[in-house]
Amino acid sequence: MTPHPGPESMRRLAAGSRRIRVRRRILPVLAAAAVAVLPVTRTVPSERAPAEPRLVFPTAAARESFLEALAEYRAEGRYLDLRPAALSDPAAFARWVDELRSQAREDTPRPPSRVPTTVLWWVAGDTYLGRLAIRHRLNAGLRQIGGHIGYDVRPSARGQGHGTAMLQAALPFAARLGIDPALVTCDRANVASRRVIEAAGGRYAGAAGRELHFEVPTRRR
């Protein structure tokens, strides 16, 4: 027979029960506090996000990518005057880049049919995506074909919106040269180029043979 607990035993049992209830209330609070002070671990991407395309002056940093693009152009029968073997030499490529940049200066020697021209490259990091030329003024030939701004996108980067973005990014450069509006032309069969020009705000301004003329505002109205 189990002996009946006396008054002292009853007080001890009651005190122990209260301690158990207190522990049960405190333990969840302590656990929550411990979670709150744990350091937050952030997931760091293993690779950097791709660089956003932008217009830059020709740069030797894009040599390898430019040579890859040149091979694509030459497969289309374009830029055959550029010799990949010569430009593969870093020093020769750097000199050629300097020549391109010098075309913007008024005092640079050039044939009578040429005008001062700012050459810009459309790049993402060191990846060459296309080129753009802003002619500082027009001559008789450029008023018929070529206009103020000419551009092209490397074959492997076409159809991705680069032409539209590149032309729009070039308009502030043209405005700083005092060009407004800019004459931009394209062959009437080149529907993609016409869409690029119209997306930049180009307004149809007539034609010269097969060449369509558009006036593109370079300043925000």
Backbone angles phi, psi at 55, to 5 degrees: -85, 130
Residue 214 to residue 202: CA distance in whole angstroms:
5
Average pLDDT of the residues of the chain: 86
Render pLDDT for 174-216 as a digit per residue (tens, 0 to 9): 999 999 999 999 999 999 999 999 999 999 999 999 999 999 9
218 DSSP 8-state letter: -
pLDDT at 2 over 60: no
CA angle 133, 138, 143 (to 5 degrees): 100
* Pair type for strands 117-124 and 54-56: antiparallel
Q: Which of 186, 196, 191 is nearest to 162 (CA)?
A: 196
The predicted pLDDT at position 157 comes to 97
Residue 68 to residue 154: CA distance in whole angstroms:
9
* pLDDT band for position 12 (cuts 50, 70, 90): low
Q: Which two tokens stand for residue 186?
A: 């394209």
Residue 47 to residue 72: CA distance in whole angstroms:
28
pTM (whole model) above 0.75: yes
Mean pLDDT of 146-172: 97
Render pLDDT for 83-132 as a digit per residue (tens, 0 to 9): 999 999 999 999 999 999 999 999 999 999 999 999 999 999 999 999 99
Q: Which two tokens stand for residue 61?
A: 């940093």
Superfamily of domain 54-216: Gcn5-related N-acetyltransferase (GNAT) (3.40.630.30)
* pLDDT band for position 220 (cuts 50, 70, 90): confident
CB atoms within 10 A of CB 170: 25
Domain definitions of the chain by residue range: 54-216
